Structure 1
Amino acid sequence: MSIYIRDAFDLMENNKYGEAIVMSNSVLEFAIENNEEGLIAKTYNVLGNAYFYAKNDSLSYHYLYKSLDLYTKLKDTSGVILVYNNLGVNYRDSEQIEKSNENFERALKLARKLDNNSALIYPLYNVGYNLVDKQKKYKEALPYIMEALDVYNSTKELKGDVILAHIYETLSYIYFKLEDEKKSTMYYNRSIAYCEKHNFQVAIAELYRGSANLNAEKGDFEKAYELQSKFIIANDSIVSIKEFGKVKEIEAAYKIKENEEKLNFVKKEQAIQKEIIKKSKIYNILLVLFSLVLLFSGYWIYKKNKQLKLAKDKAENLSKVKSDFYSEISHELRTPLYAVIELSGLLLKENVSVKHKEYIESLRFSGNHLMSLINNVLELNKVESGKMKIQQIDFELKNLVSNIIESLEYALRDSNNTISFKYDENIPQSLTGDSLKVSQILINLISNAIKFTNNGHIEIEIDRLKDVEEDEVRLAFKIVDNGSGISEEMQSQVFEDFYQEHSKNGRSYKGTGLGLSIVKRLLVVMGSDISVTSKKNEGSTFFFELNFRVTEIDSLPIIIYKSQLEYIKNKSFLIVDDNKINQLVTRKVLDHLDIKSKAVDSGAKAIALVKEEEFDCILMDIHMPELDGYETTELIREFNKDVAIVALTAATKNEVEVKASMHGMDDYILKPFITKDFVETITKAMHRRQ
């Protein structure tokens, strides 16, 4: 039966705690029936560890101490060392560091006397790890970890053990703290390679998380985010809710047996108590009272800890549900909007009547307006989750604002408003900054001005202030309207989430109440803020300042874009999308770019067609039934590594950015898109596969 207890230990190390407990209890019944005390001690140790990982501390300590008592009775020094080591890990996990150190030191002392490398390596490592993780004594920890490495290298029985991955990881962390980046990187790479070779998924996940924290500590937040994403993916593949559910079922199944054992123990204890009561009743009453106090105190602490854990789990679950909701709602809304915006844009290029043109402009404005609302909601989620990044893009501010005004022309006509744009000609033509966030800020502010102004005038003014540095300018932005205005007592509330202004005559200005809140949040992220001055029925002025770097005017991007258009002309594309309308829209876009295309509505059909025909690029949807875009890409890559594959999706950037490259895609495009960005992305993807 010893082989089965080893199998149970392997199951436990692979997070299959339920199966480990089932197998261990079967072995335990056999061992007790046959009075095999050595096997009983081993089984108690495995059960103690399994319940530790299943987060049941009381049962974990119960079985570990039973194992320790039996190993001590049997004078099995190796077993005693093993249990001391496991107890040290338990106490470390519950932040009882002094007890943890005591148990590791006992294990190390016995192991040195025993002169057994297999028994020595874990106490050595754990003493060193406590010095690193709990006491921050990196130089003192180094000799213990290095000795553990030497022990591993000189012991054949340890080959392939996961302990080597932990040793490498800890050495990487120590040298990072000792500012020896070369050695830190070397040991990190060794640990990753070793884990991948032996498929130690839990250790790989911990490596990603630890490295993410180190990179965040260094200030390399982009690398930290990349590694954190890898940790989440790796961890998701390991943690199984079913396993924890199974543990609970197993605990219930074996509860009866445990209660019977406890009952027998109580009966024996009662017999002894009767003899003691005869000698000293008062002593026993005090002892019982004291025990009850301890019992109730322990129960109260247990209940509090359980409530805190439930609250933590609930908060984490709510955060995940919220993130999943934003991802799903983004996809579901952007998909039809892609068709509305792109088709209306294509129709405006056709020779349509004046009347029909007005209808199409109205349709395109409504689509863009809805897209703006969606972006507001998504930006709010990004700020709250701390995932918002500042991008540095070369752009022409004057053209940006002019395009925004043009896109809002229909709304201006509908509200019978006029608009003027005052632009300081001393502002450099080409600037570098986050043009997407500037665009969103201005769209929200100008749209807000139009909404609260009728038969009036809106003025946009941008002035150059004193230069910050030689290659950096500071600009002042003003958006002025003569609309309904904001009362003085309400001005402090307009930047709050979901706040909506209502007029005294009962008119309600419909909206999400997020526009101004998003503006303020975006500006804060960009190192600025926004102010407002207003009087009721006289209008409002919103103003803010931003810094931009000055860039040299370069005609090269225009030349490159023309070259890209020429390169993709007459190329052959495959569109994979289960939405027929999206297929039509994408084909129309490709037609205007002189690109030949075919379309299929499933991953299976795409795979079959790629085997028969040659394509220069595949535009792959992500969310499809049966085979999704990631799975389809992986299957295509098994037989075709030359075709460029680009995700064309309505999913969020955070969802697709990491996964796309992991599954063999060359890049991604978010719908709806700007044609210039679309052309640049597909051109780069095809060049990579040449």
Structure 2
Amino acid sequence: MKIFILLFLLLNSFSNYSFAQTKTPSKAEIKKLAKKAVADLNNADFEESISTSRQVLHYATKIGDNYLIAVSYNTIAANLDQISEYDKAIFYYNKGLSHANKTNNNSIKNFINNNLGNVYCFEKKQYTKGINYYKKSLEYSQKDADTSQIVFTKLNIAWAYFDIGQFEKGYPYLEFLNKYNAKFGAESTNVIQNMLNGMYYGHKGENPKAESYFLKAIALGKSGDQKSDLSYSHQEYSKFLLKNKDYKKAYENLDLYNKITEHLYNDEKINKADIAGVHLELDEYKREVDKIEIEKNLQAQSLKKSRIIVVLFILALNVLLLLLYSLYKNYKFKKKANKELTLANQELLIAKEKAEEASLLKTQFVSTMSHELRTPLYGVIGITNMLLDEHKELANSPHLSSLKFSARYLLSLVNDILHINKIEENRIVLENLAFNVSDEINMIKKSLSFIAQNNNDKIAVKVDPNIPEYLIGDKLRLSQILMNLVGNALKFTKNGKVIITANLVEVKNKSHYIEFKIEDNGIGIATVDQDKIFEKFVQVGRNDNDYQGTGLGLAIVKRLLTLFNSYITLESKVGVGTTFKFTIAFDHDPVKTKEIINNIKVDLSSSQIFKILVVEDNKINQTITKRIIEKNNCSCIMVDDGFQAMEILGKEVFDVVLMDINMPLMNGFETTRKIRLKGIKTPIIALTAFAKDEIIEEVISAGMNDIMVKPFEPLKLFKIINDQINKTRNAG
């Protein structure tokens, strides 16, 4: 009892802080304090940072703001992390995470998971657990499409893998960092990016390249504010020098690491931070005691008004005894339940692993099937085009038109299935291209004229003249959305009209909000079906005479619009027609637009005659590809496999090589590697039925220059051929 009273008096003595006596500040002022605490942390002023974070925590708790509570706990934990109080840091990170999970803010969840990953990887050396926290952090940044934070987290994952010598596992993350850091990263990541490159190339034995990266990291660290990153760069450079037996420079860099670290974490700062940490823990105790004290005062006021205080006290005592007994019984029950729960968790873990395996198999199946379907479709479409070229009298043949349409429909189906799979796996990133809204809509009108003619429909286009001539955004995804919606409208409208409208509805700074509307006077959609049509594989109102498609188009539309932070609305009445509406914000920046347009390369070499080597084992594909090449006034030599390709490249000079990927004996990747080892720099373009994003990394690592996915438009193929030949000639 004496110990309890002493502790209570000690806690009470800390109740006279100035922030407890003053009026509670506004939320904006609390946020300002939180930012100051972070700034103090970055300046290694741990005492001030913890003290300010305590104030933020006090005020945030008072107003019940879970986000600010999570922020303050995160900053407190980060201070403790910096002064090597790792177990306490983990404790406060977890407290912050419990409050962050009560909010809808993915950023704070992302930061705390990232920080837990740092502690477990680099301090506790529990790398598996730490990397799992990093990957959880990555999920939250991907939900918000926060590319800069994605870059930052992938940097940490690469560092963790490199720290335990798993360079090949970490390299894909470093490769992503090298590709996107300049565009989406921050200056604060530049030092570590160069340091990691130095570590990787040092591991690969490419010492000059590694040293160059280390020296660049150190130079950036000296010129910037990231002194802790500078110290890590000296440390890793010292390890590299020691490995290469340059003992003097290794010692010098290790000494610099120690001096910077000692400056950042001197004993006086750490002692002050320890005192601030004690105050922090006392604050935690005080908050609990305050809660008990408030309840006690309320109970005392209630008891004073009653004349049966003694009876109530005895009753309360009896209730307490019953509660203790109940707790004891409950403890035994929970112990038994926990045992059963442990077994259930093990079963759930097995089920989770099976589900992940099934998901991987699904992705592999979709990829394989798309390849297997694209290969014969390339043959069907190519041979159909050849027949139409060789026999002009068949140009109006309904049979050939039907054959070509059916092949393109099958290709569209394969692409839709692949596309929905990519969206669900968060593998789509929007691009920024300059485009003209009117041109895009009229191109879609022209593309769908075949369906319009078959159904005797008319397509009308209305574009608001106030829309700027050029906007910046992902025109390909916009075209895909409009193509699906207009295509659907035409399919379900006979002898009618489809109207495509684009209106400028709002302008905020550079953002121009364009409302798109697709109206038809077709069969309409029943009210009971309107909530279903955006689900995958759902078809409504189908009969044997209607062409309804696969039910994927509107599902893709809905998911693509979420990437634009938009949504779609629907108004429809059976027998009257249907209207779809959505709004997307595009940038309008004349300077940036001019820069994008100037960077578009104009092909002035289409009349040139090139000598092209085609490596392809499929005889039908050989015939089609050769016909396309020769029709464009180029010479073509065909070989069946990689060995023949290497042999002929040793004897003859070609302007470009079109390389199939999936070949017997030796695949396209291995063939390209062997060609590059011989010093042959001829541009090599992968000609494949695989989806581009599935093989892009292996294409680059093998030494190929570009990819062309079959079936393809000849114009696009020769555009890529011209670009690659020009690049090679200019480089030479």
Is 2:685 the counterpart of 1:643? Answer: no
Number of the residue aligned with 1:430: 470
2:581 matched to which residue of 1? Answer: 543
Where does residue 489 of structure 1 map in the other structure? 528
Aligned partners of 1:478 and 1:163: how far apart in 2?
Answer: 50
Aligned to 2:602: 561
Query: Residue 578 in 1 paired to residue 572 in 2?
Result: no
Give the partner amino acid of 2:570: V
Quick one: distance in 1 between partners of 2:546 and 2:727?
54
1:459-488 Cα distance to aligned partner (Å, 9 max, x none): 222223333334x43222111111111112
1:610-668 per-position Cα deviation (integer Å, ceiling 9, x unaligned): 12221111111111122111011112122143211111111012211111010111121
Question: Retained in 1: the 8 A contact 2:120–2:130?
Answer: no
From 450, 468, 472, give the equivalent of 1:410: 450
Deviation (angstroms), 1:434: 1.4
- Cross-structure match for 1:188: 196
Letter in 2 for 1:317: E
Alpha-carbon distance between aligned partners in 1 of 2:517 and 2:120, rounded to the nearest angstrom: 62
Q: Which residue of 1 aligns with 2:704?
A: 665
The answer as to 2:564 corresponding to 1:523 is no
Q: d(CA) in 2 for partners of 1:135 and 1:510?
A: 49
The yes-or-no answer on 1:463 pairing with 2:503 is: yes
Q: Answer whether contact 1:415 1:454 (CA < 8 A) is retained.
A: yes
Deviation at 1:590, TM superposition (A): 1.9
Distance 1:164 1:387 in 2: 25
CA deviation after TM superposition for structure 1 residue 303, in Å: 5.0
- Deviation of 1:374 after TM superposition, in Å, equals 2.0
Correspondence list, 1:362-381, <5 A: 362-381=402-421
> Which runs of 5 or more residues in structure 1 are unaligned?
1-96, 102-124, 137-161, 199-292
Residues 663-686 of structure 1 deviation map (CA, whole Å, 9 limit, x = unaligned): 111121222334454333223323
Cα deviation 1:128-159 (Å, max 9, x = unaligned): 731897899xxxxxxxxxxxxxxxxxxxxxxx
In structure 2, C-alpha distance between the alignment counterparts of 1:313 and 1:572, rounded to whole Å = 52
TM-score, with length taken from structure 1: 0.57
Cα displacement (A) at 1:194? 4.3
Q: Which residue among 545, 549, 565 is the counterpart of 1:511?
A: 549
**Any conservation in 2 of the 1:602–1:627 contact (CA below 8 Å)?**
yes
Q: Structure 1 676/475 Cα, relative in aligned 2: closer, same or farther at 3 Å?
A: farther
How many angstroms apart in 2 are the aligned matches of 1:338 and 1:390?
28
- Please name the residue that 1:325 is paired with: 365
- 1:533 and 2:571 equivalent? yes
Q: Which amino acid aligns with 1:195?
A: H
Change (3 A) 1:324 1:195: same
Q: 1:391 to 1:401 in 2, by over 3 A?
A: same
CA distance in 2, matches of 1:135, 1:188: 18
Structure 1 position 595 matched with structure 2 position 589: no
**Offset at 1:557?**
6.9
Choose which of 625, 634, 648 in structure 2 pairs with 1:609. 648
Q: Distance in 2 between matches of 1:541 and 1:326?
A: 33
What TM-score does the superposition give when structure 2 sets the normalisation length?
A: 0.54
Partner SS state of residue 356, structure 1: coil
Q: Deviations over 1:333-390 (max 9, x none)?
A: 2223334445555666678237636554444433333332222211110111111111
Corresponding residue number in structure 2 for 1:129: 123
Give the counterpart letter for 1:563 in structure 2: L
Compute the displacement of 1:419 (Å): 2.2
Matched to 1:458, the amino acid is V
The Cα RMSD (Å) is 4.3
- Structure 1 contact 620–645 (Cα < 8 Å) conserved: yes
Contact 2:434–2:596 (Cα < 8 Å) also in 1: no
Q: How does 1:246-325 map to 2 (within 5 A)?
A: 304=344, 306-325=346-365
**Partner Cα separation in structure 2 for residue 554 and residue 593 of structure 1:** 32
Q: Deviations over 1:51-93 (max 9, x none)?
A: xxxxxxxxxxxxxxxxxxxxxxxxxxxxxxxxxxxxxxxxxxx
How far 1:554 sits from its partner (Å)? 9.1
Closer/same/farther in 2, CA of residues 581 and 406 from structure 1, 3 Å limit: farther
Shift in alpha-carbon separation, 1:507–1:181, aligned structure 2, 3 A: closer
Which residue of structure 2 aligns with residue 441 of structure 1?
A: 481
Amino acid in the other structure paired with 1:516: L
Q: Per the alignment, do residues 589 and 549 of structure 1 end up closer, same or farther by CA in structure 2, a change over 3 Å counting?
A: farther
In structure 1, what is the equivalent of residue 10 of structure 2? none
CA distance in 1, matches of 2:660, 2:446: 31
Q: Is the 8 A contact 2:384 2:404 kept in 1?
A: yes
TM-superposed CA distance for 1:190, in Å, is 4.2
Query: What is residue 669 of structure 2 aligned with on the other side?
Result: 630
- For residues 347 and 554 of structure 1, the distance between their equivalents in structure 2, rounded to whole angstroms, comes to 43
Cα offset for 1:515? 1.0
- The verdict on how the C-alpha distance between 1:163 and 1:422 changes in structure 2, with shifts beyond 3 A counting, is closer
Counterpart contact for 2:603–2:722, Cα < 8 Å: no
- The match for 2:293 is none
